[in-house]
């Protein structure tokens, strides 16, 4: 038998160390005090196989080497046999290496890395792009980074926004007169003969810590208090909400005299006050109403200031309508594509992009009403074709001419435009209608289309005209 010596792992390490000289500090092998021999072995094997640039075997080399020897000694018997046939040796060596790696669950992240890095230039460049408040802040412990200013705080300081919150109710919900002085509002729905309420409460400041509030609610449900660690399991941030908020979900098990209970609360901070939206009741009822409740919470947003308090001076372009009254105050300028505009109070630009639209503006508290801004190349078939397209959408017969249409000439951003109004012939209160401004501009046609119930679009006509006045094209 001509057995081959198993190479000494220490000599192997030395060989690799001598062969590679490129200094890459990231690939040093670190050996923390608490690491198991298996883990160290794994690191070493891992490093030897996959990181060619090993230059430094640190001060614990001997420990590492001996642990490697121990691991190999476990397979010593097999290795002797393997030496007799080259095929088996070829197979066994990679298996041993892979086994060592797999069984030890490698983690090559070093515990403590010490290195020199060039000074970060991003901070100084970025400072030019930051608001003055951040730029001027001293770089020391007194610095209040912008991210510490919470979203509600920022929202409250936005021009045109008041300290109050408002929301949009889903179908089947109504706001009832409130008798309790503690409550700001009660939102009610009647389903399957049962009445369920969402209570809206506003308290000054933070109304105690979140944990204190959660424990107060748990107490109301007959549950014991929890600590900070358990709090994390109970709360989560509101997803896809118009404002950031914290959602608390508490369930109480069935007792001898009560079915299982559930309470969902949504907690907003706005303008130095705490707002709680809370639904409590039989778990089955709350489960059924959960999505609607979350929908209400997602719609919560700062209430626009009344027109008289508008802090931003209006700076829109002229309307061609004679004796146009002063438009209502608008919110801060917004933009979409090449357009800049200001939305009237109660209108909100939808951040979600839509196919073939420049922008979509939602009208608060009027579900289904919205204004779409779109633009298309050319004249899109001409004015009559477009009018008949809109008439068809409302179930109206096509018109042979434009003579009978309700149309007003307006001026948008200095360009002549035509403002049409259509209403479905139905006498239903839900009859749909639209007011559309059609504006040819360079080689394109722009549409500003307000759709919704006839009553809603008529109520918002003045807002639409004010909006059109505010439109301008970004140079």
Partner 1 sequence: MTSPTRPTPDRPQSAIRRIIAPLASLKLTVLLIALSIILVFTGTLAQRHQGIWDVLHTYFRAPIVFIPLDIFLSERSERSFAVPFPGGYTIGLLMLLNLIAAHALRFRVKARGRRLLTGATLVAVGVLSIFWFHSGPLPARILSDAGGYAGVLPLMLVGALFYAPLVAGCALTFARRAGIVLIHASLMLLLAGEGVTAATALETQMPIYVGATSNWSQDIREVELVLIDPSSPESDLTIAISQSALQRAASSGELIANPAMPVAILVDRYFPNSDIRPLSPGEQPSATAGFGVNVAAVGLPRVTGVDRNRSINVPAAIVTLLREGLPIGTYLVSPHLQLASFIPAEQEVRIADRPYRLAMRFRRFHKPYSMRLDAFHHDLYPATNIPKNFSSDIHISDPARSIDHEVKIKMNNPLRFEGETFFQSGYIPANHPGEPDLGTVLSVVKNPGWTIPYIACAAGLIGLVYQFGASLIRFLRRSTP
Distance CA 197, CA 176 (A): 9
The nearer residue to partner 1, 178 or 254, going by C-beta atoms, is 254
Closest distance to partner 1 from the beta carbon of 340 (Å): 6
Distance of closest approach, residue 263 Cβ to partner 1, in angstroms: 16
Beta carbon of residue 315, minimum distance to partner 1 (angstroms, whole number):
15
Residue 130 or 409 having the CB closest to partner 1 = 130
- Tokens coding 88: 């088996």
Residue that the structure tokens 């792992």 belong to: 9
**Beta strand ranges found along 271-338 (DSSP E):** 273-282, 301-304, 333-336
Q: Whose Cβ is closer to partner 1: residue 95's or residue 385's? A: 95
Question: What minimum distance in Å lies between the beta carbon of 127 and partner 1?
Answer: 8
The β-bridge relationship of strands 406-412 and 246-252 is unpaired
Token pair in block for residue 351: 């951040």
Token pair for 296: 């209400």
Structure tokens at 366: 């009027």
Distance in Å, CB of 455 to partner 1, minimum: 30
Compute the least distance from the CB of residue 308 to partner 1, in Å: 26
CB 223 within 8 A of CB 258: no
The residues, ordered by sequence, that sit 6+ positions from 415 with a Cβ below 8 Å of its Cβ are: 439, 440, 441
Report the distance separating Cα 124 and Cα 103, nearest Å: 47
- Min dist CB 421 to partner 1, Å, is 24
Secondary structure of residue 349 in the 3-state scheme: strand
Joined tokens for residue 439: 């504006």
In terms of CB distance, is 90 or 176 closer to partner 1? Answer: 90
> Which residue, 107 or 430, is less far from partner 1 as judged by CB?
107
Distance CA 400, CA 127 (A): 62
Q: How far is the CB of 133 from partner 1 (least distance, A)?
A: 11
DSSP state of 26: G
CB of 356 to partner 1, least distance (A): 6
By beta-carbon proximity to partner 1, the closer residue of 356 and 427 is 356
Nearest residue (CB) to partner 1, 5 versus 119: 119
Residue 102 or 194 with smaller CB distance to partner 1: 102
Nearer Cβ to partner 1, position 61 or 66?
Answer: 61
HSE of 178, CA atoms in CB hemisphere, 13 A? 15
205 contacts 276 by C-beta, under 8 angstroms: no
Measure the CA–CA gap between 330 and 349, rounded to whole angstroms: 13
- Asked if 131 contacts 157 with a C-beta cutoff of 8 angstroms, the reply is no
Nearer to partner 1 among residue 105 and residue 425 (C-beta): 105
DSSP class of 268: E
With 0-12 / 13-18 / 19 or more C-beta atoms within 10 angstroms meaning exposed / middle / buried, residue 341 is: buried
**Rg (alpha carbons) of the chain, rounded to whole number:** 35
Q: Which residues contact 122 (CB under 8 A, 6 or more apart)?
A: none
Nearer of residues 21 and 119 to partner 1, judged by Cβ? 119
Q: Residue 267 forms beta bridges with which residues?
A: 246, 276
Structural tokens at position 377: 């190349």
Cβ at position 367, least distance to partner 1 in Å: 23
Residue 93's closest CA among 9, 1, 2?
9
Measured from the CB of residue 141, what is the shortest distance to partner 1 in angstroms?
Answer: 5
């Amino acid at each position: 038998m001509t057995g081959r010596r198993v190479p000494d792992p220490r000599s192997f390490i030395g060989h690799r160390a001598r062969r590679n000289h490129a200094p890459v500090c990231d690939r040093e092998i670190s050996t923390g005090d608490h690491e198991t021999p298996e883990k160290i072995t794994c690191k070493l094997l891992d490093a030897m196989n996959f990181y060619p640039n090993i230059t430094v075997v640190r001060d614990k080399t001997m420990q590492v080497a001996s642990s490697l020897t121990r691991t190999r000694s476990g397979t010593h018997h097999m290795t002797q046999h393997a030496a007799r046939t080259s095929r088996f040796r070829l197979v066994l060596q990679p298996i041993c290496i892979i086994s060592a790696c797999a069984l030890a669950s490698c983690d090559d992240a070093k515990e403590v890395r010490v290195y020199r890095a060039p000074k970060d230039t991003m901070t100084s460049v970025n400072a030019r792009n930051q608001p003055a408040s951040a730029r001027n802040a001293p770089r020391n412990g007194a610095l209040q980074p912008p991210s510490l200013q919470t979203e509600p705080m920022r929202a409250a300081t936005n021009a045109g926004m008041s300290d109050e919150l408002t929301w949009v109710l889903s179908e089947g919900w109504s706001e009832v007169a409130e008798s309790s002085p503690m409550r700001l509002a009660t939102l009610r729905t009647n389903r399957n003969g049962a009445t369920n309420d969402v209570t809206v409460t506003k308290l000054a400041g933070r109304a105690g810590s979140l944990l204190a509030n959660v424990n107060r609610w748990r107490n109301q449900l007959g549950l014991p208090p929890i600590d900070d660690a358990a709090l994390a399991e109970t709360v989560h941030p509101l997803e896809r909400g118009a404002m950031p908020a914290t959602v608390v979900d508490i369930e109480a098990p069935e007792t001898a005299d009560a079915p299982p209970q559930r309470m969902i609360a949504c907690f907003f901070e706005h303008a130095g006050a705490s707002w709680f939206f809370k639904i409590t009741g039989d778990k089955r009822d709350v489960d059924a109403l959960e999505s609607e409740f979350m929908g209400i919470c997602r719609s919560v947003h700062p209430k626009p200031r009344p027109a008289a308090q508008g802090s931003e001076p209006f700076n829109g372009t002229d309307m061609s309508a004679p004796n146009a009254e002063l438009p209502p105050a608008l919110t801060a300028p917004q933009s979409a594509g090449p357009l800049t505009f200001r939305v009237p109070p109660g209108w909100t630009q939808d951040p979600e992009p839509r196919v073939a639209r420049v922008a979509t503006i939602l009208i608060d508290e009027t579900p289904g009403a919205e204004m779409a801004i779109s633009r298309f190349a050319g004249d899109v078939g001409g004015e009559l074709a477009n009018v008949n397209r809109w008439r068809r959408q409302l179930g109206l017969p096509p018109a042979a001419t434009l003579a009978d249409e309700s149309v007003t000439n307006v001026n948008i951003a200095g360009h002549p435009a035509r403002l049409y109004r259509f209403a479905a012939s139905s006498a239903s209160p839900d009859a749909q209608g639209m007011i559309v401004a059609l504006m040819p501009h360079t080689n394109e046609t722009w549409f500003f289309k307000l759709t919704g119930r006839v009553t809603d679009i008529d109520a918002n006509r003045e807002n639409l005209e004010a909006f059109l006045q505010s439109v301008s094209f970004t140079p």
